[in-house]
Structure 1
């Protein structure tokens, strides 16, 4: 009996000294799985076992609830903490993982022969760890098999898996591991702009046209041929001159191997805003982003030309975020994971000083993004908002859904298809309008998330719409989900200079930079008055600033073989709260 007691005591002491020594890493459970390859993808081949790539591990954030509570408090105009945004250090402290999570993940890495000290990257808060692994290592760690998948429409090849698993005890410590089941690539990611046929000869006489526009009389031609003068008049920014240009900045996030062209911006200014000639913007290249100044992108030029056109002389920054080269079956060269939001967000969150306003014109069908991945990325946008940045996203150009709208869960049901990141509750999503007076444009993306619950800030505004809708479209959308868009702006006939020539471009990717330009001016006004910037907009615009928008009451957004939602009085999932009126908003936020 004495011998047994001594033996038990020794075991207890050993367990206390090495709490992780007895963990069973082979007790695994599925983290995420697809029932079939996402639509458009097919298995092509098996990657070499020694193919190297960067695996990213997102550890659960110990004080995420506190971060989100802080975000809402500093963004609520009725709260005592309104405008008291968090510093980078304060945010980093809130997103840091619990020491137990760090210990568990590092022990798991060591079990697989990986020294945590050799990590390629650790975020400032410690919630992201990037390690370089081979296919063979990753398959052992995640109890899976990787394949090379081909996307015929874009001729893209990526290394992904249909499912992955983690040891059961790691599920409470890890949010997501990538690259695994998120199949979207930079090539198949949808930029929402598209080229339109020229509808007017107005472009050749832009200077005289601009002189004829006043805020009190916007010509109907602005509904089909949109210039900076049109937008400045429509949204009441013409008379405002920015003052806080030493502090206030506007950031444009770009992907798809696109960059904005300096010469085209000058040509654009010469045609459409002569007082801005000579104005420039900063280029920041992230993760191998391009900036060769040859063959500029339609989306990139659209974004920077219209943020500049409205916010000038506010400093603008274009972030060109790169993606990996096409997968080479014979290559042993490490590649990145080709998951752009993570690349850009990890970069921007690591900066000490960040722009007060951002716009992004890219997105995917929500159902094509694994929910754990979408949630992790959405929470990263919350970090930006907590630090005082306003983040605009295009709502998409497929109405309530594009394509066949079939679910990818094996049931092949036809339902409305929300978009992500438009459906994230921590961004401000921008829909589209057309014509003068404005009506909803038919392609304006809008609807209700199936991943994210309806946030409290919009409940009172969304309820009347749902009540009036009644049982129409019952079962086709999630009435309790985060509703979008939040606001809207013109989306048709934007005059964009590409390669020296003026082209007509449409899409809600024109709407997002337009609203971002207006928001940047509001931030300029506040900063020049010694006040903090707006930060996360939604709690403000759904409450005390609600009357600062022009309500759009006609038009609809068909899709999925259905007529789609209809714009009406108040908020609607076609145009949101409406289009911005800078002067009204200036009075409301001041």
Structure 2
């Protein structure tokens, strides 16, 4: 029997195509939700022609080595302490393996995407972007997209409840977005709030203010008014920074990450300075726009003004940078423009890591419940924050304003168990997380101060002694409601209530750990200034240093609690605790410890 030439050709093509098709057809789930994330509802099916900017985070080839390096350069006992990485050195660690690049390109070509259509979004090559239709993305990821609505923020996004990748790509691709992360710039939480119950100070009434470098007794205490309302003079006296004048302002800077279409108002800053820090009047800051971020001076934001006015006043005259990070336009049905990716942190951290020079201290006052953030997204963002630390930047996040958890605290894994709800990125081990306090003599943990234990990230070894001591002390209290082996936070704390903020030309009282984080960031910036002026490297990732035994420069907070989830939460005690932890006392650390590390 003779084979027809057409049949032979068809069999040859089948033999050539089958291994390739089999390779990319063997799909394995990457992430899925058991239910639509809380606060969101299905709205409609997107148009199949709707365009998405599909972003692929390729697995860094030497991430484990970078994290090992981070530990070494952050440990005062290590010979590499302070020898932070340059941008080029960091890029070499996080670059993907050539095989990963080759596999992803092969997969994209299998789906008809030409290499010329692929955009590399980072110098290290670990992020690539392709513009595809919803129908094509569904085919590539073995999923179905939907348009989902978040009623509270009025956001509409295109997301999916699950997605898959070919088995061969799981070892090469960390994350694909937009997929299962439903957080957006407008739906995540800013950790600040107006406090109308605290009467604000008037602009035209003279109250105590301080000039930078003005001499104060080391034993000076804040006036009793600081128990109710906080001004820069309160903070500079309480945390003993008033006698220090920055000397390395040509080398040092402090940054603030802004989202939620929040804009700092320069006129409000001048009003604030004239009222509370007169010798800073006339100075300003730099706004850096990320992802087409705006700087609308007609729309002052509570969060932005709070962060800017206190971080830059306490650290004055250290140069300040405000990052205005925007999301893309919201979803519009049948539009042919890319839909709303709007994923917090990734746009900002990718941008910052692409810069050769970045601020040595950066504070961020936003977060989500950890359980609402997919594991692949959490890991990717946390690893990128580790890169910032390896490059010598101290990254601080507020701990949140819901104690051990807000709302009903039910898990979203289908079991609906009531558990304490840690916050992210506060729970990332590579950031320094800041809780809140009130009053001045002594300071007490404020009840809303977020704190607890991650259910996603294990506890770093340097926390073992301090955290174990606390766990032993509380015994079975709250047993089963938290992960005792998880990364514990906060790491530091500072005042968090009654901050006097100028908004639209008027003073308002504002509270939240959004006030605490920029305060600590300003103190760290002063520490960095002193180190740079002495020819020493910046502090970088603080956490291994914070938990060192007998480190001077800290005051312990031993009272207060952070209730939530229908419980009393955790109670502050001597030593570390997941409510307020310890607060920085700047001059002691500068004077006594610079020779130690």
TM-score range, shorter chain: over 0.9
Contact 1:20 1:104 (8 Å CA) reproduced: no
What are the superposed Cα offsets for residues 256-304 of structure 1, whole Å, 9 maximum, x if unpaired? 0111111111000000000100111001110121102111110000001
2:578 maps to 573
**Using the alignment, how far apart are the partners of 1:249 and 1:541 within structure 2?**
22
Shift of 1:205: 6.1
Is this contact kept in 1: 2:458–2:486, CA < 8 A? Answer: yes
Alignment partner for residue 275 of structure 1, among 264, 279, 297?
Answer: 279
Partner of 1:386: 390
**Residue 501 of structure 1 corresponds to which residue in structure 2?**
506
2:521 matched to which residue of 1? 516
**Kept after mapping to 1: 8 A contact 2:200/2:508:** no
Contact 2:56 2:177 (8 Å CA) reproduced: yes
- Aligned partner of 2:7 in structure 1 is none
| Counterpart-to-counterpart distance in 1, 2:200 and 2:508 | 12
Equivalent pair of 2:331/2:340 in contact (CA under 8 Å): no
Q: Deviations over 1:155-205 (max 9, x none)?
A: 211100000000011111111101100001111110010000253464446
Q: Is 1:448 aligned to 2:453, yes or no?
A: yes
CA contact 1:488–1:515 (8 Å) conserved in 2? yes
> Normalization by structure 1: what TM-score?
0.95
Task: Give 1:199's aligned residue.
Answer: 198
Q: Aligned equivalents of 1:328 and 1:388: distance in 2?
A: 41
TM alignment of 1:45-56, pairs within 5 A? 45-56=44-55
Q: Distance in 1 between matches of 2:296 and 2:200?
A: 32
Aligned match of 1:266: 270
- Cα distance in 2, alignment partners of residues 121 and 296 from structure 1: 35
Given that 2:49 and 2:334 are in contact with CA atoms closer than 8 Å, whether structure 1 keeps it comes out as no
Deviation at 1:243, TM superposition (A): 0.8
Partner of 2:99: 100
Unaligned runs of 5+ in 1: 1-14
Correspondence 1:42-121 to 2 at 5 A:
42-121=41-120
Equivalence for 1:138: 137
**Contact 2:74–2:542 (Cα < 8 Å) also in 1:** yes
Aligned to 1:466: 471
Structure 2 CA distance for aligned equivalents of residues 462 and 206 of structure 1: 46
Task: Give the Cα–Cα distance (whole angstroms) in 2 for the partners of residues 18 and 490 of structure 1.
Answer: 65
Residue 3 of structure 2 aligns with which residue? none
Deviation at 1:116, TM superposition (A): 2.7
- Structure 1 CA distance, aligned partners of 2:145 and 2:17? 34
Superimposed CA distance per residue, residues 557-586 of structure 1 (whole angstroms, 9 cap, x where no aligned partner):
00000000000000000012x111001111
Partner of 1:293: 297
Aligned residue-pair number: 574
Pair 1:26–1:491, CA change in 2 (3 A): same
Q: Which residue of 2 aligns with 1:432?
A: 436
Q: Is the 8 A contact 1:545 1:589 kept in 2?
A: no
5 Å-filtered alignment, 1:17-32, equals 21=20, 24-32=23-31
- Cα drift, residue 508 of structure 1: 0.1
Q: 1:22–1:158: structure 2 CA closer, same or farther, 3 Å change rule? A: closer
- Secondary structure (helix, strand or coil) at the match of 1:280 reads coil
For the structure 1 residues 199 and 471, does the alpha-carbon distance in structure 2 shift closer, same or farther, using more than 3 Å as the test? same
Question: Does structure 2 retain, via aligned residues, the 8 Å contact 1:120–1:132?
Answer: no
Distance in 2, Cα, partners of 1:420 & 1:62 = 25
Q: Residue 40 of structure 1: CA displacement?
A: 1.1
SS in 1 for 2:404: coil
**2:228 matched to which residue of 1?**
224
- Paired position in structure 2 for 1:325: 329
Secondary structure of the corresponding residue to residue 548 of structure 2: coil
SS of match in other structure, 1:511: helix
Matched residues in 1 for 2:119 and 2:57: separation?
A: 14
Query: Counterpart in 1 of 2:541?
Result: 536
Cα deviation for residue 513 of structure 1 reads: 0.1
Following superposition of structure 1 onto structure 2, how do residues 144-223 of structure 1 map, counting pairs within 5 Å? Answer: 144-197=143-196, 199-200=198-199, 202-204=201-203, 207-210=206-209, 216-223=220-227
SS at 2:467 equivalent: helix
Deviations 1:484-505 (A, max 9, x none): 0000000000000011111100
Given that 1:267 and 1:497 are in contact with CA atoms closer than 8 Å, whether structure 2 keeps it comes out as yes
Partners in 2 of 1:117 and 1:586 — Cα distance?
Answer: 53
Structure 2 distance, partners of 1:177, 1:546, is: 42
Instruction: Output one character per residue of 1:361-411: Cα deviation in whole Å (capped at 9) or x when no partner.
Output: 000000000011101100000000000000010000000000000000011
Shift of 1:209: 2.0
Aligned to 2:492: 487
**In 2, Cα distance between equivalents of 1:252 and 1:201:** 25
TM-score scaled by structure 2?
0.94
Q: Provide closer, same or farther for how the CA distance between residues 241 and 207 of structure 1 changes in structure 2, counting only shifts above 3 A.
A: farther
Distance 2:205 2:573 in 1: 34
Q: Which runs of 5+ in 2 are unaligned?
A: 1-14
3-state SS of 2:194 partner? strand
2: CA distance, partners of 1:350 / 1:209: 43
> CA–CA distance in 1 between the matches of 2:479 and 2:509?
38
Counterpart in the other structure of 2:5: none
Whole-Å separation in 2 of the counterparts to 1:318 and 1:211: 24
**Residue 541 of structure 1: how far off its partner (Å):** 1.2
Q: 1:238 aligns with which of 217, 242, 245?
A: 242
* 1:306-330, Cα deviation, whole Å (9 max, x unpaired): 0111111110000000012221113
1:545 to partner: Cα distance: 7.1
Aligned to 1:8: none
- Structure 2 distance, partners of 1:335, 1:423, is 30
Equivalent residue for 2:406, pick from 402, 406, 412: 402
SS at match of 1:208: coil
